[in-house]
Amino acid sequence: MKTMNEINFKGKKALIRVDFNVPLNENFEVTDATRIQSAKPSIRKVIKDGGAVVLMSHLGRPKGVEEKFSLKHIVSKVSEVLGVQVKFVSDCVGEKAEKAVAELKMGEVLLLENLRFHPEEKAGDVNFAKQLSKLGDIYINDAFGTAHRAHASTTIIDQFFPNNKCFGFLLAKEIESIKKVLEEGKKPVLAILGGAKISSKITVIENILDKVNHLIIGGGMSFTFVRAQGGKIGNSICEDDKQKLALRILKQANEKGVQIHLPVDVVAADAFSNDANTQICDINKIPDGWQGLDAGPKSRELFNDVVLKSKTILWNGPLGVFEMENFAGGTIALGNSIAEATKNGAFSLVGGGDSVAAVKQFGFANKVSYVSTGGGAMLESLEGKTLPGIEAMLK
């Protein structure tokens, strides 16, 4: 399959699956345009070559046609980001859509209405995919955020473009970044997993134990490991039914030569509140009535040492309840350490849900090598799965 750079789009209409599932406020204004910005390079390349662009995306989870999920709300934002007046058509298949595409001139951009207004999109309906395929000469998949779904526009449509398809720049970059960590990572390779629960990340842990040299387990997850080893964790969050699993993970890591680093101390609070009283204590000696809500100073230092000696770093999940200012310090310290390691030449990938929110909130997005745009898609990639949207392209 050709890359985007190997294709000249002059005189062609490119049908691009983008992920414009952006957050809107109560006035239907886009509050975070990152996903639109991320799709810009692919769109600009087609236009620059002298082609035209037809954009398709979903927005939210509509049940049939629901005005509040109409992509018309984002037309002005997309136009602003692209620097082109974007046209809009109120359906994504059928006569209206086909007419709008036929009238589209080279250099122009057309946005189709929400794909999910048709239940056939999520059902992966072949006939629906075939109708969509009439709307372009070349298919570009640039939607990493939905690459883990076998939907009509992300996976089923590929068969109608056997020789006329390619990954967009964004999707290609996502694939390359994951490969750089999981397959080609320069040693020492470090993964940092944080967040609330082990249960949502078991498969990730099991898969990456074969790929990394060091594993930092932080955040709420760490307490299950500490209690399983006999530590006193007070009222900290814990999945008691996962204690055996935690011990098994520690044993597996040991057998595979992976060094696991758990926090040694915490910022403990007497309530789950930003205004709670706090104290620093050892992670295995948290008094009853107190709960660990952030990594303590010794843990931050320990993690900093591990991060700085790593050449490849993957970060998924915060080290504490970073949404509350008083418990964001550990996550911020880790972001600083990763930024420094990156400056010194390490490759750093931040992906999956809340750590992405954290790097954006604390201004680290430009100080790491790559911030993934896909939450679920990123997690499934880290679990070692081949995503259907990527597999279909490679067929």
- Contact set with ligand AMP (CB under 6 A): 195-197, 200, 219-220, 237, 292-293, 317-318, 320-321, 323, 353-354
Closer to ligand AMP by Cβ: residue 42 or 235: 235
Q: State how far the Cα of 51 lies from the Cα of 37, in Å rounded to an integer.
A: 20
Does 353 qualify as catalytic in the annotation?
yes
To ligand AMP, the closest distance from the beta carbon of 141 in angstroms equals: 26
**Own/partner long-range contacts of 77-86 (Cβ < 8 Å, ≥24 apart):** 77/22, 77/29, 77/30, 77/33, 77/36, 78/20, 78/36, 78/109, 78/111, 81/33, 81/36, 81/37, 81/40, 82/36, 82/40, 82/43, 82/44, 82/109, 84/47, 84/108, 84/109, 86/55, 86/110, 86/111
Give 6: exposed, middle or buried? Use CB within 10 Å, 0-12, 13-18, 19+: exposed
**Both tokens assigned to 302:** 């320990």
To ligand AMP, the closest distance from the beta carbon of 265 in angstroms equals: 13
Q: Enumerate the known binding-site residues.
A: 19-21, 35, 58-61, 116, 149, 201, 292, 323, 352-355
Total residue length of the chain: 395
Q: Enumerate the known binding-site residues for ATP.
A: 201, 292, 323, 352-355
Does 376 qualify as catalytic in the annotation?
yes
**Across the strands, what pairs with 265?**
282
Closer to ligand AMP by Cβ: residue 101 or 293: 293
Q: One of 44, 130, 376, 384 is an active-site residue; which one?
A: 376
Q: State how far the Cα of 332 lies from the Cα of 314, in Å rounded to an integer.
A: 16
Closer to ligand AMP by Cβ: residue 20 or 223: 223
**Closest residue to bound ligand AMP by CB:** 195
- Could you give the angle at the alpha carbon of 97 between the alpha carbons of 94 and 102, nearest 5°? 115
To ligand AMP, the closest distance from the beta carbon of 382 in angstroms equals: 12
CA-closest candidate to residue 319, choices 194, 199, 216: 194
Q: One of 122, 130, 197, 298 is an active-site residue; which one?
A: 197
Q: Enumerate the known binding-site residues for (2R)-3-phosphoglycerate.
A: 35, 116, 149
To ligand AMP, the closest distance from the beta carbon of 219 in angstroms equals: 3
* Residue indicated by tokens 């990938």: 349
Closer to ligand AMP by Cβ: residue 70 or 337: 337
To ligand AMP, the closest distance from the beta carbon of 100 in angstroms equals: 40
DSSP letter string, 197-216: -STTTHHHHHHHTTT-SEEE
Q: One of 353, 374, 375, 389 is an active-site residue; which one?
A: 353
Closer to ligand AMP by Cβ: residue 145 or 318: 318
**Across the strands, what pairs with 214?**
190, 259
Q: One of 12, 13, 35, 77 is an active-site residue; which one?
A: 35
Could you list the active site residues? 35, 197, 353, 376
